[in-house]
Amino acid sequence: MREEESTFGAQPQHLDRLIALGLEDNAEEAAGSAGPQMEGLGGWVGRYKLLQVLGEGGIGVVYLAEQTEPVRRQVALKIIKPGMDSRRVLARFEAEAQTLARMEHPNIARVYDAGLAPSGRPYFVMEHVPGLPIAKYCDEHRLTIDERLHLFLHVCAAVQHAHQKGIIHRDLKPSNILVRTQEREVVAKVIDFGIARAIHQPLTERTLYTEQGQPIGTPEYMSPEQAGLAPSDVDIRTDIYSLGVLLYELLTGCTPFDAEELRRKGYGEMLRIICEQDPVKPSTRLTMLGGKLEEIAERRHATTDQLRKLVRGDLDWIVMKCLEKERTRRYETANGLVIDIEHHLNNEPVTARPPSRLYRFRKLVQRNKEVSAAVAVVVGLLCTIGLLAAGLVSKRPSVPLSKELRLVVLPFENRGPAEDEYFATGLTDAVTARLAALHGLAVISRQSAMQYKKGQKTTRQIAAELRVDYIL
């Protein structure tokens, strides 16, 4: 074992003791032995010299620091901001340190140390990853679709490891996944577990929560259950949703819902979109990019036609399976997502499939009250007509009771966007099925009726060819 691992390796027992020490109420006493009494750039926190600010969040600042003993190396040191020492903030900070300390994976940034700064503010020290956000790295290096998928598999492996350790990240996005070239190998590292959640037990003994009515996460990467303010519904499939958004972005250069547009909509409408509105599939989004598509394709080392062809099909449905509103329809684990991507790369069948037209129609009706009312009126009216027509059979003594009236439901025409074609098809299926259930009616199959979709034949010609009594 190397010296740095034995002294400052990500050992949970070692870190638990330091983290607990750093968050005790008697912080002044603990800080007395914390090292040089100087903070800020050029100053010291324990054995770490602060070199520059790497980033700043709501509760903490991350510095690039230099460790001087027992080994010399650069690290990332995260410390709570002055004045941000409420019990809730301390609990959240402690939770992040405890979370990282649990994990030991080549694609997750490691924690080395933790303690108190001279001011009494807690800090922890982690691996410095001098890389680029994954989306930016892929674009700058013009990675192909297959190369992006292989890199994405690293991220899935890290998320799977976190889940096995009982941790949900809840904020997976490009800026929290840094990529660098290490010994001629491209490596992705997941960072920032600041809003992570334990699956089976609390991360710390302190209370960790968000204010009522305030969802946690980044809107464009947030799952519907996160946006729906239902903490009990958040499980590992929340991260699967965010992985789907990330994959969508790596393929198309944009997220399913545009960040600026979401924020312009206002808080309530933003949550409604996340919870209720289905995004278009990646290949469809590519066709909507207009003049930007050529640049997007060039960054993926492909022509526009090649890119659309590469994304259409398996990758469409893999992404859309991750983005299902109902989490029970997503991949159960990150490994399930990995298996499908590997199958795609190996030209093998994938488990992801497009949802049936009937399922999509049913979901549309459930979400839209006006559509639901219209369907109810149409189906009710047709059933009434069907009942009246069926009643004619018993009132015509010259017609044997075994002779049913024959009826055909011609396909409904979609006059909306092409992507709404499933609505017209679903309505046709629903009406056909309801009428076919009525006694006294023989309804021609939808397959036979489809040949007359947008046809030029008159109703008399159709009636003669299908030998039907009624045409809808």
For residue 226, what are its two tokens? 């996160």
Task: Name the token pair of 256.
Answer: 């399913």
What lies within 8 Å, CB to CB, of 472 at 6+ separation is: 382, 407, 408, 409, 410, 431
Asked if residue 91 lies in contact with residue 208, where contact means CB atoms within 8 angstroms, the answer is yes
Q: How many beta carbons lie within 10 A of that of residue 259, not counting itself?
A: 13
Which residues neighbour 54 within 8 Å (Cβ) at sequence distance 6 or greater?
62, 63, 64, 76
Q: What DSSP state is assigned to residue 108?
A: B
Contacts 24+ apart (CB under 8 A), 271-280: 271/215, 271/227, 271/228, 271/229, 274/219, 274/222, 274/223, 274/224, 274/227, 275/224, 275/227, 275/228, 275/325, 276/224, 276/325, 276/367, 278/325, 278/363, 279/248, 279/323, 280/256, 280/419
Q: Strand 73-80 vs strand 60-67: parallel, antiparallel, or unpaired? A: antiparallel
Residue 411: CA atoms inside 13 Å, Cβ hemisphere, count?
Answer: 18
Instruction: Please state, in angstroms and rounded to a whole number, the distance separating the CA atoms of residues 409 and 445.
Output: 8
| Inter-axis angle of helices 334-345 and 236-252, nearest 10 | 30
Is the peptide bond preceding residue 70 cis, with omega within 30 degrees of 0? yes
Which listed residue (16, 25, 113, 171) is catalytic? 171
Residue 225 CA to residue 469 CA, distance in Å, equals 50
171 given a catalytic annotation: yes
Among 431, 446, 459, 436, CA closest to 390 = 436
| Single-letter amino acid, residue 469 | D
Cβ density class 374-394: b for 16+ within 10 Å, e for less = ebeebbeebeebbeebbeebe
Phi, psi of 232 (to 5 degrees): -70, -20
Give, to the nearest 10 degrees, the angle between helix 357-367 and helix 369-394.
120
Place of tokens 């080994």: 71
Backbone angles phi, psi at 362, to 5 degrees: -60, -40
Q: Which residues are catalytically annotated? A: 171
